[in-house]
Amino acid sequence: METIKLNDGNTIPVIGFGVYMIPNDGSTYKAVLHALKAGYRHIDTAAAYFNEEEVGRAIKDSGIKRDEIFVTDKLWLQDYGYAEARMGLMRSLHNLGLDYVDLYLLHQPYGDVVNAWRALEDLKAEGYIRSIGVSNMTPNIWEEFVPQFKTLPAVNQVEYNPTFLQKPLRNILDPLGVYLEAWYPLGHGNKELLNHPLLAEMAAKYKKTIAQIILRFELQMGVIVLPKANELKHMKDNIAIFDFKLDAEDMHKIASLDTGKGSHDPETKGMGESLLANFKIHD
């Protein structure tokens, strides 16, 4: 598995296995075990996914050394604020059965973001977190909060795929050495994208699947990708993308699919209040 170096000096695998919307009924445990067996070494979870315990149990039962697995977790809005954030991480570490997480993100950019970030900075200094980052920050939200931070985020995890290349955001992040992580890198099952004639033509040319073409494109764009798959075959396919490279002309053609619009707008009025009201991770 290829890795890249973050702006804090730590390394991260360029592909992670995301467990969003995988139930906490044994399904997450099975999926993570399969992913690790398939070769993944980066697992992405969150307190608000309600499946941390199964992620941690699968990591323990995999037989793979802890320091060979990169674990990302995320702090939920309910735990924003300095003291609350500290408690939120400790709760997640307990659920995971781990002493530290490799990357910890502010899951949503609303509420007491500044004090939550201050807690993450201190927890990183104390060794409970290796790297810290943010998620779902648009350029406007980034400019609202990040100038108040003492240290830069290592990553910003946002929606990203060939139809939504986040160009204004990349213009801010790239000069700062902040990596973009892609959730929905395959468009969340977008049939139009996954059956696009241009991508089908390239899949035939490179003897790869359309999903592999998309993920390879994103890696060559310098993005960390977090594809989700339920079947072992698809898990294996999604990481079988290191034996070929898209040429410059094909990269340009895929980039032309960009519409500048995604399925989720973090700047929607009332978004923070709505998320907090609808997702309660504890009493």
pLDDT (0 to 100) of residue 210? 96
> Which of these, 52, 24, 23, 58, lies nearest to 40 by C-alpha position?
58
pLDDT (0 to 100) of residue 231? 84
Q: Determine the Cα–Cα distance for residues 199 and 204; give it in Å rounded to an integer.
A: 9
Sign of the Cα pseudo-torsion (98, 102, 108, 111, in order): positive
Is pTM beyond 0.75? Reply is yes
Catalytic residue among 40, 49, 80, 110: 49
Structure tokens at 64: 């793979």
pLDDT (0 to 100) of residue 206? 97
* pLDDT tens string 171-190: 999 999 999 999 999 987 78
For each of the chain's 283 residues, which pLDDT tens digit applies? 899 999 999 999 999 999 998 999 999 999 999 999 999 999 999 999 999 999 999 999 999 999 999 999 999 999 999 999 999 999 999 999 999 999 999 999 999 999 999 999 999 999 999 999 999 999 999 999 999 999 999 999 999 999 999 999 999 999 999 999 999 999 877 888 999 999 999 999 999 999 999 999 999 999 999 998 888 899 999 999 999 999 999 999 999 999 999 999 999 999 999 999 998 999 8
3-state secondary structure of 265: coil
Task: Answer yes or no: are the C-beta atoms of 141 and 119 closer than 8 Å.
Answer: no
User: Is there a catalytic annotation at residue 128?
Assistant: no
pLDDT (0 to 100) of residue 191? 83
pLDDT (0 to 100) of residue 198? 97
Structure tokens at 148: 């108040």
Domains of the chain with CATH codes: 3-278 (3.20.20.100)
pLDDT (0 to 100) of residue 53? 97
pLDDT (0 to 100) of residue 188? 75
| Nearest-10 crossing angle of helices 52-61, 82-96 | 40
pLDDT (0 to 100) of residue 1? 84
**DSSP category for residue 263:** S
